[in-house]
Amino acid sequence: MAWQTIRASEDGGVTTLALNRPEVMNALSSALRLELAAALRAAQARARCIVITGMGRAFCSGQDLNDAGRIEAVDFERILNDEYVPLLRLITDSPVPVIAAVNGAAAGAGANLALACDVVIAAESASFIQAFTRIGLIPDAGGTHWLPRQIGLARALGTALFAEKISARQAADWGMIWEAVPDADFAAHVAARAAHLANGPTVAYRALRETLRGSFERDLDAALAVEARLQGICGRTEDFREGVAAFLEKRPPRFRGA
């Protein structure tokens, strides 16, 4: 399907969705949000791994304020509930892993769109900024949820209050993202990471994402019960039998996602 604000491509079980408004640093217009949601739904029906990235020099500069109408009449509550929440849920509840390949600046809601993904890989020249207080707002698009869980309350508060730019390397050192890689290696590295996930045990991936994403809301007994239930499911898959066979035969496994 042809999208106006999303460029989609497929390769070996990996679907890459590139935000395609480079003239405004891929700012999140209503059209982009709706098309990204539709593209995610389409990709989840056939892909084994999804990569979200940006065209041009930025990953995403956040909410497109020019798209929201008259500033004094902007209804952020409606925009967040009707457009951002469904989009973020498509990422967090995806049946396959989602990688954010942050190729440049990720600001405001754009930064938090990346943090919603399972794995964030950034080029070393990329940066993250919770720019909200610069215009009198609070972090949204899940920022108040992700930040304290990933970097702790003290760093989350400082990052949000001062709205200072965080380099990709610092973000990796803090645990905000998975890794920062040299710009020259970025595209090949992301492709290799995505291919690894696309060739992996997708049932197990889905189960581990469910357990880890919900871990902060469960006590130990609940966590152990969820582990037992999902491990039971994984243990009945062809992927488990293939994994064991490959281990015993000392060869790479050939997972099929079943």
Q: Which residues of the chain have pLDDT under 50?
A: none
The per-residue pLDDT for 69 is: 62
Tell me the CA distances in angstroms from 44 to 48, 50, 65, 69, one per residue in order: 8, 8, 30, 32
Q: Which H, E and C letters describe the chain, residue by residue? A: CCCCCEEEEEECCEEEEEECCHHHCCCECHHHHHHHHHHHHHHHCCCCEEEEEECCCEEECCECHHHCCCHHHCCHHHHHHHHHHHHHHHHHCCCCCEEEEECCEEECHHHHHHHCCCEEEEECCCEEECHHHHHCCCCCCCHHHHHHHHHCHHHHHHHHHHCCCEEHHHHHHHCCCCEEECHHHHHHHHHHHHHHHHCCCHHHHHHHHHHHHCHHHCCHHHHHHHHHHHHHHHCCCHHHHHHHHHHHHCCCCCCCCC
Write the CA distances from 257 to 5, 124, 148, 189, 238, integer angstroms: 31, 33, 33, 23, 8
Domains assigned to the chain? 6-198 (3.90.226.10), 202-249 (1.10.12.10)
pLDDT at site 3? 86
**Residue carrying structure tokens 């809601």:** 109
Give the C-alpha separation, 4 to 21, whole Å: 9
98: β partners: 50
**Cβ pair 108, 55 in contact under 8 A:** no
How do 14-19 and 119-123 pair as beta strands? Answer: unpaired
Q: Tens digits of per-residue pLDDT, 16-74?
A: 999 999 999 999 999 999 999 999 999 999 999 999 999 999 999 999 988 766 666 67
Residue 179 pairs in a beta bridge with 121
pLDDT at 147: 96
